A and B are shown apart, each in its own frame.
Chain A
Amino acid sequence: MERLIQPNKEIAMATSTTVVPSHSLTGFIGLGRRIAALIPGLLLLAAVGYAGKFIEQSIAAYTKAGHITFPNIEYVLWAIVLGLIIANTIGIPRIFQVGVATYDFWLKAGIVLLGSRFLLGDVLHLGGISLLLVAIAITLSLTFMHILGRAFRLKPKLTSLLAIGSSICGVSAIIAAKPAIDADDEDASYAIAAILALGAISLFTFPLIGHSLHLSDKAYGLWAGLAVDNTAEATAAGALYSDAAGKVAVLAKTTRNALIGFIVLGYALYWSSRGEAHAVGNKAAFLWSKFPKFILGFLLISLLATLGFFAKPQLASLANLSRWAFLLTFAGVGLRTSLRELGKQGWKPFAVGAIGELFIALLTLSLVYGADRYLHL
Chain B
Amino acid sequence: MSKDATSSRQALSLDGYAVALALVLALLVRLNLLPPIKW
Residues of chain A at the chain B interface (Cβ within 8 Å): 6, 8-9, 11-13, 15-16, 104-106, 108-110, 112-113, 116, 172, 175-176, 178-179, 182, 289, 292-294, 296-297, 300-301, 304, 309-310, 313-314, 316-318, 320-321, 323-324
B22 shortest CB reach to chain A, Å: 4
A293 and B36 within 8 A (CB): no
B30 shortest CB reach to chain A, Å: 6
Main secondary structure of the interface of B (DSSP, over half): helix
Size class of the B contact interface (CB-based, 8 Å) = 20 to 34
A294 shortest CB reach to chain B, Å: 5
B11 and A310 within 8 A (CB): no
Residues of chain B at the chain A interface (Cβ within 8 Å): 1, 4-5, 7-8, 10-19, 21-23, 25-26, 29-30, 32, 34, 36-39
A327 to B30, CA, bound (A): 23
Closest B residue to A9 by CB, please name it: B7
In the bound complex, residues from chain B placing their C-beta under 8 Å from that of A12 are 7, 10-11, 13-14
A121 to B36, CA, bound (A): 27
In the bound complex, residues from chain B placing their C-beta under 8 Å from that of A13 are 10
A113 to B18, CA, bound (A): 10
In the bound complex, residues from chain B placing their C-beta under 8 Å from that of A179 are 1, 4-5, 8
B6 shortest CB reach to chain A, Å: 9
Closest A residue to B24 by CB, please name it: A109
Given known A12-B7, A178-B4, contact A324–B37 (CB-CB < 8 A): yes
Task: Give 9 pairs: A residue, B residue, CB < 8 Å, sorted on A.
Answer: A9-B11, A12-B13, A16-B10, A176-B8, A179-B8, A182-B1, A301-B22, A313-B36, A318-B26
Extra contacts besides A172-B11, A294-B15, A297-B23 (15): CB < 8 Å: A9-B7, A15-B14, A105-B17, A109-B21, A112-B18, A113-B22, A176-B8, A289-B12, A301-B22, A301-B26, A310-B29, A314-B29, A320-B37, A320-B38, A324-B39
B22 and A297 within 8 A (CB): yes
A316 to B34, CA, bound (A): 13
B7 and A321 within 8 A (CB): no
In the bound complex, residues from chain A placing their C-beta under 8 Å from that of B17 are 15, 105
A297 to B22, CA, bound (A): 8
A16 to B7, CA, bound (A): 11
In the bound complex, residues from chain B placing their C-beta under 8 Å from that of A320 are 37-39
Q: Which of A16, A301, A317, A323 contacts B36 (CB 8 A)?
A: A317
Given known A105-B17, A317-B36, contact A113–B25 (CB-CB < 8 A): yes
A358 to B21, CA, bound (A): 37
A105 and B14 within 8 A (CB): yes
Closest B residue to A309 by CB, please name it: B30
In the bound complex, residues from chain A placing their C-beta under 8 Å from that of B29 are 310, 314, 317-318, 321
Closest B residue to A188 by CB, please name it: B4
A8 to B8, CA, bound (A): 9
Closest B residue to A106 by CB, please name it: B18
**Which 7 pairs show the lowest CB-CB distances between chains A and B?**
A12-B10, A112-B22, A8-B11, A297-B19, A108-B18, A179-B4, A317-B37
In the bound complex, residues from chain B placing their C-beta under 8 Å from that of A296 are 19
A175 and B8 within 8 A (CB): yes
B18 and A109 within 8 A (CB): yes
